Amino acid sequence: MSERKVLNKYFPPDFDPALIPRRKGPKNSQQVVRLMAPFSMRCNTCGEYIYKGKKFNARKETVEGEDYYGIKIFRFYIKCTLCSAEITFKTDPKNTDYAAEHGASRNFEPWREEKAVEEEDRLAKLEEEENNPMKALENRQVDSKREMDILDALQDIRARNARNERMGKSDDLLARSAVEEVEDEEDKARRAEEEEDERLVREVFSKIHVPAPGGSAESSSAVLTVKRKADQLDAMAGGSDSLAAATALSSSVPLQPPAAKKKKPVPAKALGIKLVKKPKAAA
């Protein structure tokens, strides 16, 4: 089954496509296309109705000498489904539609007659106003009333839109104020936590001015950073008690640095020095 579906064709090595003669045909040749009827129509020969969307094998050609601002116009040939009479229609780019040309007529479509009906009504109204002045006055009153109704409706729509816009802005303000309140509460909570941390740090680490030994408290003093433990903090709850406890704690801490260790003398042998004893002098 796969052998008969081969898409590749064999071309001999000496094949030259330039030697193939061009096919000559008429300038405006017709093409066979498959299309659907663009509008409902009735055959002029037998009276058969052809509904919109009926499929046909049609012949298409370009209309010679007709175009719309450079847009080509095409003509289509179809046959009636009952009597096989030829029906032609062509494109109408001006109205973006199709126009029946020969062999059939379009069925009545009211939307295509709206402009003609409106023009007839306008002419009849003008003629009536010329012959009857009272009718002209009534028409002007009706027109003014219609304009006032239109203006009132337009004013209501504008007021409604303005009210909706104000409501939207108020909602935005409420939402923004709620967000700001939440942010303020978060800032307050964060600030309270930071203050609590700073207070705990001040309680744990405190600096005490302790007078140096051998001098007065005013002349010389040393600053001592004391780290308090949790049990000591509980014992130092009061003001005077905390000061006494801090003084007692500072007295137990040595203020002077420990004495440096004496270095041991290096033996002479380690340095490579040989010691020679002097002989004693004779008496």
Decide if pLDDT at 5 tops 80: no
CA separation for the pair 127, 3 (Å, rounded)? 83
| Bridge partners of residue 43, in order along the sequence | 104
Burial 49-77 (b: 16+ CB within 10 A, else e): ebeeeeebebbebeeeeeeeeeeebebbb
At residue 150, the pLDDT reads 93
15 versus 253: the higher-pLDDT residue is: 15
55 versus 219: the higher-pLDDT residue is: 55
Give Cβ neighbours of residue 246 (< 8 Å, ≥ 6 apart): 206, 208, 226, 236
Please write the tens of the pLDDT for every residue from 210-241: 555 555 544 445 555 555 554 554 555 454 45
Please write the tens of the pLDDT for every residue from 26-48: 777 889 999 999 999 999 999 99
CA separation for the pair 149, 262 (Å, rounded)? 114
User: DSSP assignment, residue 5?
Assistant: G
H-run or E-run covering 157: helix 133-204
- Is the pTM higher than 0.85? The answer reads no
Q: CA end-to-end span of the chain, whole Å? A: 141
Percent of the chain residues topping a pLDDT of 70? 67
